[in-house]
Every structure is written in structure tokens, then in C-alpha cells.
Structure 1
Amino acid sequence: MAPKRPRVAIYFASHDGQTRKIVDRLAGHLGEHGVGATIADLSVGPPTIDTDADIVLLAAAIRYGFHLSAARRFLGRLRTEVPDQRIAVISVNLTARKPGRQTAEGNVYLRNWLKRTKLRPALAAAIAGRLDYPAYRWFDRMMIQAIMTISGGPTDPSTVAEYTDWAAVERLADALAALATTKP
């Protein structure tokens, strides 16, 4: 009998599509390590939690300072079915565009989320997203510009900036693969 292939179950909540692009890249890179990956979009309804996966990853975008509500609700369910040491979380936010803001210690959104939930995941990281003012509705653009004014980011309404560090995404996939193939 062949050994079971390690597997990562990926659940994500995306607002503008960047988180989806990130999890797609993660899944592709996991495959290069021989680690299977499934992807579930939390916006289509509450999925069944894959409790047989070696690692369960939740990737969530930020909107107005909070992770999307679908991700927050899912994490509450996830914690009742999967032990923390098999959970990984990725926060996708524009704060992570700055040096030193890719860890739970350095990223206020991720740090606060973990503190509020008392989660101690096997892996926690922040990845910068994409800023696309022309694609945002008026209210979203105004709110994001206000946040960018406070944080020293770009406020020109014509700005489109890809902040995602794709090499860092692949390093995260490497770390997830290592976790999935290491038995506790």
C-alpha cells in the first residue's frame, strides 16, 4: 500500500480577488513539493471542514481593519474541529507591503486577530495584497485612501500597485509543505 500523500486544505475569503490569486499560487507550489491541495472559497457558503488534511490553511483579506466576516466565522468553526497545531493562517493586507510587517509580531491586523481568537497556529503570516483604486467603489476608495493617508501609503486615485511578494508566497508554500510532511 502506497503511503498517504500529504495534503493541505485551503480555505479563503477574498474581497477583490487577490487572496484567490495568492492561494492559487500556494496550491501550485505545494504540488511541486508533492503535497496535494484543495481550495474552498468561503464566499460560496460554509464548507465542510476537511479534518483529514495534514494542514488546514485559512487565508483572509482585510477590509477596513478587520478580516472578512466569512473568514472570522469559519475560524470559529475550524477551531472546534482541528487542533491549533494543524492550522495555518495568512492575512492578506496592505500593511504587509512594509518591511517587517509579514509576521504576527510585526503585523497589527494579524497580531490582533490571533490575540482576539487566542489561536496558536502552526504557521501565521501576512502577505501584501494589491491596491487598485480605479476598481474600487467610491466609498471603498475613500476609506482606503484615508487608511493610506494615516499609514503613509499612496493616495492618488489612479494608483494601481501590486504589492504581493510572489517569492514570499512560494516560501510560505515551502513552509506549509514542510509542515504537511512532518508528523507531530
Structure 2
Amino acid sequence: MENVLLLHSSSDGQTVKILQHIASTLGEGYQCELVDLNTLPTVDFTQYSRVLIGASIRYGHLNKKLYQFIEQYQVQLAQHKVGFFCVNLTARKAGKNTPETSVYMKTFLKKSPWQPALQAVFAGALRYPRYGWFDRVMIQLIMRITGGETDTTKEVEYTDWEKVSEFARRFSQF
């Protein structure tokens, strides 16, 4: 049985949902522990055979706590089997949904001293009814500019679950 640490930096829960799907895809040979990276947990990497970090983009940026975590654990991240993915609404569009084509992944790799060997980019979900007034208006504005859904009564999940499952398989063989 392999112990796997699933760290998340999630804004609205889609990153957590993606990690739960990955844990389910990994199956019985893996004991997965889901931890909120935003709490800046203490992590003993020797307790895990592999680690996966999932982080969401909010207003064009990853959470600063992700970078603090990376700074704190840079050596351990480089020495262990650690994968990384980011979740954003821009990835709903073809040509913006891979590590090579995602502006957010490119920015992350420029800013981060850690360069993950296994990377992915997934489209997130639009949850207008769950947002507060400010977030709903701002996200609607962003979606209007980028040609996305603007009906604030809707919830739209853009995540490609087969792509997530394929990444889980790659992670298990990593």
C-alpha cells in the first residue's frame, strides 16, 4: 500500500474535487491523505511514496501560500515523486489547457524555484450561485471578456474528467 499526500490550494472546491477523483482513480493500492496547503501544514515527505499538489487560479494568480510552501519544502519537493497541476477557467479553451500553452503554468514555472517533473492543467468550474456578490460580478466580467458563460444563475463544470483520469494513471506510474 502506497501512502500518497494530496495537497490542495483551492478557491471554490473544484481542485479538491479533482484530487478526490484522482484518489478514486488510483484505487485500492493507494492510501490517499487530502490536506489543505493553504494552512501551511508541516509535512514529513518520508511518510509518503508520492505527493500531488493541485492549485487553483483566482483572478489570474495562484495563492501566495503555495509559493511559501514551495519555499519551505523546496529541497524535499525536488527529492521526492511530486506532481503538480493547476486549475483555471481559461483551460476550458483548446490551446490553453496544457502546461506548455497555459499562461498560468508558464508564470508558475518562472516564479517557482521548484520545477515539477509531472505537470497538468485542468479546466475548473463556474459556480455563479455560490459566489458572493463581488466574486460573481468580477468573474462574470472576466467571462464576458473571454467569451464564456455570463448567466449568473448557472453552474458549469468544464473539467475534462477523462483527462484527469489519464493524469492519475501517469501519476501512479511516475
With structure 2 as the length reference, what TM-score do the two structures score? 0.89
Match of 1:162 in 2: 157
Match of 1:8 in 2: 4
- Kindly tell me: are residues 97 and 116 of structure 1, through their superposed partners in 2, closer, same or farther at Cα, counting changes over 3 Å? same
Match of 2:57 in 1: 62
Q: Tell me how far 1:74 sits from its aligned partner.
A: 1.7
Residue in structure 2 matching 1:49, options 27, 31, 43: 43
Match of 1:77 in 2: 72
In the TM superposition, structure 1's runs of 4+ consecutive aligned residues that sit over 4 Å from their partners are none
Residue in structure 2 matching 1:86, options 74, 78, 81: 81
Tell me how far apart the structure 1 counterparts of residues 4 and 116 of structure 2 sit (CA, whole Å).
14
Q: Would you say 1:39 and 2:51 are equivalent positions?
A: no
Tell me how far apart the structure 1 counterparts of residues 71 and 135 of structure 2 sit (CA, whole Å).
27
Structure 1 stretches of 5 or more lacking a match? 180-184
Quick one: which amino acid aligns to residue 87 of structure 1?
A: V
Residues paired across the two proteins, number:
173
- Kindly tell me: are residues 119 and 104 of structure 1, through their superposed partners in 2, closer, same or farther at Cα, counting changes over 3 Å? farther
Listed as ranges, the matches of 1:118-157 within 5 Å are 118-157=113-152
Bigger drift between 151-160 and 77-86 goes to: 77-86
Instruction: Give identity over the alignment, percent.
Output: 41
Tell me how far apart the structure 2 counterparts of residues 9 and 50 of structure 1 sit (CA, whole Å).
10
Match of 2:166 in 1: 171
Any conservation in 2 of the 1:57–1:88 contact (CA below 8 Å)? yes
With structure 1 as the length reference, what TM-score do the two structures score? 0.85
Residue in structure 2 matching 1:110, options 97, 105, 114: 105
Any conservation in 2 of the 1:10–1:57 contact (CA below 8 Å)? yes
Any conservation in 1 of the 2:70–2:114 contact (CA below 8 Å)? no
Tell me how far apart the structure 1 counterparts of residues 73 and 24 of structure 2 sit (CA, whole Å).
24
Q: Tell me how far 1:24 sits from its aligned partner.
A: 0.8
